[in-house]
Chains A and B, each alone.
Chain A
Amino acid sequence: MESRQAILDLFAEIVADPYPRLREWKARTGRKVLGCLPMYVPEEIIHAAGALPVVITGGVDNTSLAEAHMPNFACSLVRSNLEAALRRELDFCDGFVFPYICDSMQSLSELWPRTVQNGFKHHILLPARLDTIIARAYLLKEFQRFKEALERLVDAEITAVALSTSIDIYNRDRDLLQQLYDLRRRRPGLLTGRQVQAIVRAAMLMPKEEHAELLHGLLLALEEREANCRGKVRLVLSGILATNLNLLDMIEEAGGVIVDDDLYNGSRYFAGLGDRASDPMESLANCFFNMMPCSTKHNPTRGWAEYIVQMAREAQADGVIVQLMKYCDPHAFDYPGIKDKLEAAGLPHLLLETDLNRRSLGQVQTRLQAFFELVRGV
């Protein structure tokens, strides 16, 4: 059994440079890799087709190539993925899957074949409504359309048994990630924010079977000792996608400790176990409709703002850091409502306008310190 540190180092390595491993996996297995744009692509169907779904989250430092193809007032998720593709960094992918989540992702999906590559591309048109049973029948047909497209790609049938098996594999990894997050809530600081982020990100970049093995080993190897988080400011991170590892270090250096998050590169990715419905497609649909409240999906009865407050209370957080990606319209529209709910709940919060690149965060340090002083003073 690998030691705790060895497993953590491996996850960090995978995240720092994932693509050589993926190329090696392709060469070894002869199977296909499909790049999935965030969020909510039903990876289990891809897995059941024998291909490897990989979530590509962008995050390059400059987007000079992308600028020629798209105005700069697009979010960094869209621009940096376009940039990565134009730089040929994603050539190892045999195709790409775009989820229907927002106008910018739709635009990227449309630009992609004419700009980047003309291979397999599927735009999975997930319903935007979670508030009506009508959307469910539509989603099942859309899953079917995706399944058929994948069957044509791999020239093989995706059986119900294969899909159920894939769901079980995914559920195992989800369950382990859930255990990791439960552990972090009980003993914050046991792992650094950077370490936890690497674990989640690695799940997006390798076969789930392998990830689950490593994570299972890690959870066993974690010592049964209290993490020292006395005097630290307990924080929840809230946002859609926020992959800046330097920011996590900065939060901890300033005296903060992360107790929970609702990020897609966090708990949102593994939320919702596919249940054991008899039909695997129904199981996937259940998972979709039970998703954590999301800015990109319409559901008046279950708001994200209330969810954040509940999450913060359950994790006994002292405050919330809202990471708002610049030019993310859905989140920016939700922010005033989130702000109001947090204030009404007496939860201090800091709004950080972010993007995905790894630039230095000079101004953020000052703001973090001021925020911590405010929280401690309360």
Chain B
Amino acid sequence: MDTRIYPRLTTSPKELMALHYAEARQAKVEGRPVAWLTGMAPVEPLRAMGVAVVYPENHAAMCGARRVSLELCEAAESQGYSPDLCSYARCDIGSVITGSSPVGGLPRPDFLLSCSNFCMTVTKWYEALARSFDVPHIHIDTPFAGDGPNPAAVSYVVDQLKELIAFLEGFLGRPFDRERFREVVCLADESGAIWGEVLRMGRRVPAPFTAFDGFTHMAPMVAMRGTQATVDYYRALYVEVSERAASGVAALPGEKVRLLWGNIPIWCNLKAVPDFLARYGGYFVASEYANSWAFRLDPDDPLRSMALAYSTVIPNLSLEQRARTWVDLMEDYAAHGFVMHSNRSCRPGSLIQYKLKEMVETRTGALGVIIDADMVDPRSYSESHVIGRLETFIRTLSGSV
């Protein structure tokens, strides 16, 4: 039985991502520097200096999707890391301890770069990695931006970026390549723009591209931002998706209920939720999550535009700003309802959710539901709970649209 509910796009990030990991391994073999970065760390100066970068979060998501995360989490726990901690971190630490990984493991880092814009937990995770590998750990502190960036915090981040550049010069023993940096910033900006356009196609009725397509296709933006290959990738994706849009192809034929998704996906059981909802004609047209990477940079003012973009990602903004973002997305994408993932090991993503749900429901009149699970720890996933909640939700919603 064909389990595909809707036609898959032919453009795929698999090859590009395989290249990404291969390049990092090759760099290690050739003695070129390798760095590990958090999901939303300012990578552009590193790219400009030819540092090969890998993203443990991306790797952990893959471990979740490939169903190997449980043993990795348990390995970290056997070393004293609490099972309550971020499952990305446990998965990653477990992978470092056991050497086990679906892509042959990440090459050993020469230094670590973290940025607390998504959460402060990454600082601690990377401190643990720094102890384990005994390598430098540079942390970019992006203070909470509230309703909007405050000038003192932006200056602080700009100064830290300058300090990062000075570190790179010292560590690599050569001057910062400003020309290459400008190129990288242009490429990052361009891919951010195209990625944003791709995501916006989800606004069409019917949508040719789902939020879950977004979770797959965002990988190059996260891990290969600032490269020509990424720009080419998103151009190709944009062409394919707009052709579908032009011919009225729906990602979910017979779409009935358009939904928004909130928080990190349930990587360890990714298809369960969209496949179930598809049976009722429901599918996800947008996510707050994938939108985070559709940011713009200014090659004429790179450090300041980076400081602003990196500081004002949604998780670093106030509850009010988050609610407004949701309301705008609900309107732009003509969504009827929303599903928020209460991600057990992600406190920053989940603690404000009950209130956020209430605010979105009140302001839009739409119905939402919260499902309890975890991004990569399968022990926190209960099918009966998730399906039970969704069933009530989708029946109510599809009855009223």
A residues engaging B (CB < 8 A)? 68-71, 73-74, 78, 100, 102-104, 106-108, 110-111, 114-115, 123, 125, 127-129, 131-132, 134-135, 137-138, 141-142, 145, 295-296, 298, 300, 324, 326-327, 329-330, 332-337, 339
Contacts and interface: CB of A to CB of B under 8 A. Distances in A.
A338 to B, nearest CB: 9
8 contacts: A69-B355, A73-B347, A107-B347, A134-B159, A300-B137, A332-B84, A332-B85, A333-B121
A336 B144 contact: no
A125 B120 CA distance: 13
Contact of B143 (A71, A127, A134): A127
A135 B355 contact: no
Nearest to B139: A298
A336 B355 contact: no
A103 B359 CA distance: 21
B160 A134 contact: yes
A103 B120 contact: yes
Nearest to A115: B355
Contacts of A103: 119-121, 347-348, 351
Interface stretch (B124-132, B202-210, B272-280): B124-132
Interface stretch (B150-158, B181-189, B240-248, B293-301): B150-158
Contact of B351 (A104, A134, A145): A104
A110 B152 CA distance: 20
Contact of B128 (A71, A114, A134, A336): A336
Nearest to A142: B152
Interface stretch (B74-82, B224-232, B388-396): B74-82
A74 B351 contact: yes
Interface centre among A132, A295, A339 (most CB of B within 10 A): A132
B128 A298 contact: no
A326 B141 CA distance: 25
A300 B155 contact: no
Contacts of A300: 127, 130, 137
A298 to B, nearest CB: 5
A142 B141 CA distance: 14
Contact of B153 (A107, A138, A327): A138
A1 to B, nearest CB: 48
A138 B155 contact: yes
Interface in B28-72: none
Interface centre among B84, B144, B351 (most CB of A within 10 A): B351
A110 B130 contact: no
Given A114-B319, A129-B139, A73 B344 contact: yes
B60 to A, nearest CB: 15
B353 A128 contact: no
A128 B85 CA distance: 20
Contact of B123 (A110, A128, A135): A128
B367 to A, nearest CB: 19
A137 B347 CA distance: 30
Interface residues of B, number: 47
Contacts of A134: 156, 159-160, 163
Interface string B337-351: 000001010011011
Nearest to A103: B348
Interface centre among A100, A131, A332 (most CB of B within 10 A): A332
A76 B119 CA distance: 20
Contact of B124 (A127, A137, A333): A333
A125 B160 contact: no
A296 B127 CA distance: 11
A298 B342 contact: no
Nearest to A79: B351
Given A70-B354, A103-B121, A336-B79, A298 B141 contact: yes
Interface of B: 79-82, 84-86, 89, 116, 119-121, 123-125, 127-128, 130-131, 137, 139, 141, 143-144, 146, 150, 152-153, 155-156, 159-160, 163, 318-319, 342, 344, 347-348, 350-355, 359, 372
B144 A107 contact: no
A330 B124 contact: yes
B350 A73 contact: yes
A111 B141 contact: no
Given A298-B127, A329-B86, A71 B350 contact: yes
Interface centre among B146, B150, B354 (most CB of A within 10 A): B354
Nearest to B86: A329
Contacts of A70: 351, 354
Contacts of B84: 73, 326-327, 329, 332
A127 B141 contact: yes
Contacts of B153: 125, 138
Contact of B144 (A104, A106, A111, A132): A106
B141 A135 contact: yes
Given A111-B319, A132-B160, A134-B163, A102 B120 contact: yes
A336 B83 CA distance: 13
Q: 9 tightest CB-CB pairs across the interface, nearest first?
A: A333-B124, A107-B351, A336-B80, A103-B348, A138-B156, A141-B152, A332-B82, A125-B143, A110-B319
A100 B128 CA distance: 21
A334 B319 CA distance: 29
A145 B125 CA distance: 31
B85 A329 contact: yes
A329 B81 CA distance: 10
Interface centre among A324, A326, A336 (most CB of B within 10 A): A336
A78 B348 CA distance: 13
B155 to A, nearest CB: 7
A312 B246 CA distance: 71
Nearest to B130: A300
Contacts of A129: 139, 141, 160
Nearest to A105: B120
A106 B352 CA distance: 10
A329 B124 contact: yes
Contacts of A114: 319, 355, 359
Contacts of A127: 141, 143, 156
Contacts of B137: 300
Nearest to B124: A333
Given A106-B348, A125-B144, 16 more contacts: A68-B354, A73-B344, A104-B348, A125-B143, A125-B153, A134-B160, A137-B155, A138-B153, A138-B159, A141-B152, A300-B137, A326-B84, A330-B124, A332-B84, A333-B121, A335-B82
A89 to B, nearest CB: 21
Nearest to A75: B347
